[in-house]
Structure 1
Amino acid sequence: MKQIFPSAVSWWLFAPLLVLLLGSTVFAGLEQSWLSGLTMLAALGFTIWLIRSTYYEVQPAQQLLRIVSGPLVWRVRVADITQVEKSHNLLSSPALSLDRLKIYYGKYDFVLISPADRAGFLAALLTLNPAIRHD
Structure 2
Amino acid sequence: MTVYKSKIDWWLIIVIGGLFCYPIVEGIRTKEYLMSLTFFGLLSLIFLMFKSIKYKIDGQLLIIWWVKIDIMKIKKIYSTNNPLSSPALSLDRIAVTYNTFDEILISPKNRAEFIAELLKINPNIVVEV
Please give the TM-score of this superposition, normalised by the length of structure 2. 0.90
- Where does residue 76 of structure 2 map in the other structure? 83
**Paired residue for 1:44?**
43
Give the aligned partner of residue 29 of structure 2.
30
The reply on whether 1:120 has 2:117 as its aligned counterpart is no
User: Structure 2: which 5+ residue stretches go unaligned?
Assistant: none
The amino acid that maps onto 1:15 is I
User: Match of 2:94?
Assistant: 101
Residues 66-92 of structure 1 show CA distances to partners (whole Å, capped at 9, x for unaligned) of: 113xxxx32111122111000100001
Instruction: Show the counterpart of 1:13.
Output: 12
User: Matches of 1:119 and 1:106 in 2, distance apart?
Assistant: 23
Of 17-26 and 89-98, the range deviating more from structure 2: 17-26
1:114 maps to amino acid: S
Q: Does 1:74 align with 2:76?
A: no
SS across alignment from 2:97: strand
Question: In the alignment, is residue 129 of structure 1 matched against residue 126 of structure 2?
Answer: no
Deviations 1:80-131 (A, max 9, x none): 2111000100001100111101001111111100001111100111111111
1:54, distance to aligned residue in structure 2 (A): 1.5
- CA distance, structure 2, for counterparts of residue 38 and residue 108 of structure 1: 43
Structure 1 stretches of 4+ moved >4 Å = none
- Partner SS, residue 5 of structure 1: strand
Measured in 2, the distance between the counterparts of 1:75 and 1:123 equals 19
Unaligned ranges ≥5, structure 1: none
3-state SS of 1:49 partner: helix
Displacement after TM superposition at 1:28 (Å): 2.2
The answer for the alignment partner of 2:85 in structure 1 is 92
- 1:133 deviation in Å? 0.9
Identity of counterpart residues, as a percentage? 34
Aligned-residue Cα RMSD (Å) equals 1.4
Q: State the secondary structure of the residue aligned to 1:56.
A: strand
How many equivalent pairs are there? 128
- TM-score normalised by structure 1 residue count: 0.86
